Structure formats: structure tokens, C-alpha cells
Amino acid sequence: MPLRMFCLSLLVLALAGAGVAFSAEAGYLGATGAWQAYRIAEKGKRVCYMVAKAKSAPARKKKKKSGKSKASTRPAYAMVTFRPTESMLPVFSYIAGRTLKKGSEAAVRIDKDRFNLFTAKDTGWTRTSAGDREVTEAVVNGARMRITAKAANGTRLRHVFSLKGSFAAYRKIRRACGIPK
């Protein structure tokens, strides 16, 4: 339960920071394997997404003599989102857990498939709708996903995600948003 609430809170905070208004009704659709599925309303419009937390993350930097850590690392997440009033297509995103190097790309490897994401702040996306479809198809049919990126401070980030349950979570969000097969 805490992970579900944290994921939902993370999305709400991220979107609220972008000026998105939410209705009071956010729906948890269930967990399948490593993935959580949700349905929310943005400005009265239905949005469905699935999210997974990275299984592994980069080691935290050693504390300075001041007692403060050099770089704060929050958990990393992978998401697939549907906004049916905008498009029937899924959108893949990666939230790195820390600010990424400006102008850098994140490399995604799903089993033997490879993809690149452009980055802004702490998030990475594909450049095209076709790229979103390809990554999403690989996520729902794959077993393991690795994402590497470069943090703003130069640290190389390596996140591993289990794709167990991604097919069932995808089916849940697709149905919740009325997306045809």
C-alpha cells in the first residue's frame, strides 16, 4: 500500500507542478507483479497509467564531513500513460530520481531491444509516437528493462526494472481508459 500511495503522490506532485488540476477521484486499478495501475482525472479528463519502481539504483554517494550527502537519490520509475482525449496512443516515460545532465539521452534496453530517450530535468521520453508504441510493446512483452542515464553531476545512473506483470497492468489501463486493442 505505501508504494501505491507514493507512486500516485509522485505523479500528482509532478503533474501539479506542471499546472495540472486533479479531481478528487483517483482510482487504484491494482498491482500485477512489479507494476501498479491507476486511473485519474485531469481537468475532468480520464488518464490511465501504469508505473514500476526500479529494482536497483546507483549507490548513494558517501556523506561529506558536513554530514550531508553530495547527491540526493530518489527512487526511479518507469511509466506508460494513456490520455484518450488527446490520443489513443501510449506514452512511455522514465523518472530518474535525480536531475539529468542537460542535453543528455537515456538509453533503454529491454531484453535485446534498444531505445533512446531525450531528457529534461529528471525525466526521459521517446521523441515520437512510434517510439512510444515500440517501447511500450517491448515493455509489455519483455522480461527485464535496463535504463542508463547521466546525472547532472556526472554520475552514471543504472536502473533495472522488472517487467513481470507489465502485460496485465497494460491491459488494466487500456480497459480503464477505453482503448481498443
Give the predicted TM-score (pTM) of the model: 0.80
Residue 19 has pLDDT above 50, yes or no: no
122-166: pLDDT as tens digits: 999 999 999 999 999 999 999 999 999 999 999 999 999 999 999
Q: What are phi and psi of 170, to 5 degrees?
A: -60, -45
What is d(CA 118, CA 106) in angstroms, rounded to the nearest whole number? 7
The count of residues in the chain is: 181
Give the mean model confidence (pLDDT) for residues 18-46. 78
Distance in angstroms (rounded) separating the CA atoms of residues 34 and 16? 25
Q: What is the pLDDT of residue 66?
A: 52
* Domains by residue range for the chain, with CATH: 2-176 (2.60.40.1880)
pLDDT computed for residue 71 by the predictor:
52
SS3 45: strand
Contact 79, 47 (CB under 8 A): no
pLDDT over 90, % of the chain: 71
Segment 48-54 shows an average pLDDT of 97
Please tell me the predicted confidence (pLDDT) of residue 165: 98
Give the mean pLDDT of 72-98. 93
